[in-house]
Structure 1
Amino acid sequence: MTGWPHMHVEMVGPGRTLLLKLRGPWAFDGEERFPTLGDMRARVQIGDFEELGRGLVINGTVQLTEVIDPVYTTALVFPPALLAGSRRRWLIVGGGDGATAREALRFRDTESVRLVDISRMVIERTQELIPSFWAECQRDLRLAIDPSDAGKVLEGMADRGEKVDILVYDLSDAGNEETNPFPESSADHLYTEEAFRVAARCVEPGGVFVAQLAELSPVRFGDHLRYREALKKVFRHVLSYRVFLEPFGYSESFVVASNHEGSFSHSPPEPVESRLARIYAGDCSAVYSSRWHEHLFALPPSIARRME
Structure 2
Amino acid sequence: MVGPGRTLLLKLRGPWLFDGEEHFPSLGGMSARIQIGDFEELGRGLVIDGTVQLTEAVDALYTTALVFPAALSARSRRRWLVVGGGDGATAREALRFRDTGSVRLVDISRTVVERTQELIPSFWSGCQHDPRLEIIHHDAGEVLRDMADRGDQVDVILYDLCDPGSEECNPFFDSAADHMYTEEAFRLAARCLSPGGVFAAQLAELSILRCEDHRRYRRALKRVFRHVHSYRTFVEPFGCVESFIVASNDEGDWNPSRGDSASQRLPALYVGDFREVWSAPWHEQLFALPPSLVSRLN
Fold agreement, TM-score > 0.5: yes
1:15 is aligned to 5
Deviations 1:255-288 (A, max 9, x none): 0000001111124485332221121112221221
The residue aligned with 1:112 is: 102
Is the Cα contact below 8 Å between 1:272 and 1:289 reproduced in 2? no
Corresponding residue of 1:265: 255
Matched length: 298
Which residue matches 2:34? 44
Number of the residue aligned with 1:306: 296
Give the aligned residue type for 2:220: A
Partner of 2:138: 148
From 133, 153, 164, give the equivalent of 2:154: 164
**Superposed, which structure 2 residues align to 1:190-229 within 5 Å?**
190-229=180-219
Contact 1:82 1:268 in 2 (8 A): no
CA–CA distance in structure 2, aligned partners of residues 114 and 72 of structure 1: 20
Q: What is residue 275 of structure 1 aligned with on the other side?
A: 265
What's 1:101 paired with?
Answer: 91
SS at structure 2 position matched to 1:48:
strand
Q: Distance in 1 between matches of 2:199 and 2:180?
A: 14
Structure 2: distance between partners of 1:21 and 1:37: 33
- Whether 1:235 aligns to 2:225 is yes
Q: Mind listing any 5+ residue stretches in structure 2 that lack a counterpart?
A: none
* Structure 2 counterpart of 1:185: 175
CA distance in 1, matches of 2:41, 2:190: 39
State the one-letter code of the partner of 1:199: A
**TM-score normalised to structure 1 length:** 0.95
* Other-structure match for 1:248: 238
Q: Partners of 1:133 and 1:117 in 2: how far apart?
A: 15
Deviations 1:19-38 (A, max 9, x none): 01110000000000000011
Q: Give the aligned residue type for 1:297.
A: F
Q: SS at 1:20's partner residue?
A: coil
How far did residue 149 of structure 1 move? Answer: 0.5
Aligned to 1:8: none
Worse overlay, 253-262 or 267-276? 267-276
1:84 pairs, out of 74, 78, 81, with: 74
* Structure 1: gaps (5+ residues): 1-10
Counterpart residue type for residue 199 of structure 2 = F
Q: Say if 2:41 is the partner of 1:25.
A: no
> Secondary structure, in 3 states, of the residue corresponding to 1:247?
helix
Using the size of structure 2 for normalisation, the TM-score is 0.98
State the alpha-carbon separation in 1 of the partners of residues 177 and 229 from structure 2. 22
- How far apart are 1:247 and its partner, in Å? 0.5
The one-letter amino acid paired with 1:286 is E
Deviation track 1:216-254 (CA, whole Å, cap 9, x = no partner) reads 000000000000000000000000000000111111000
Kindly indicate whether the alpha-carbon contact (under 8 Å) linking 2:156 and 2:199 is maintained by their aligned counterparts in 1: yes
Equivalent residue, structure 1, for 2:62:
72
Give 1:58's aligned residue: 48
Partner of 1:5 in structure 2?
none
Q: Give the counterpart of 2:278 among 275, 288, 300.
A: 288
- Cα distance in 2 between the residues matched to 1:86 and 1:258: 13
Identity of aligned residues (%): 71
Structural RMSD (CA): 0.9
CA distance in 2, matches of 1:267, 1:36: 38
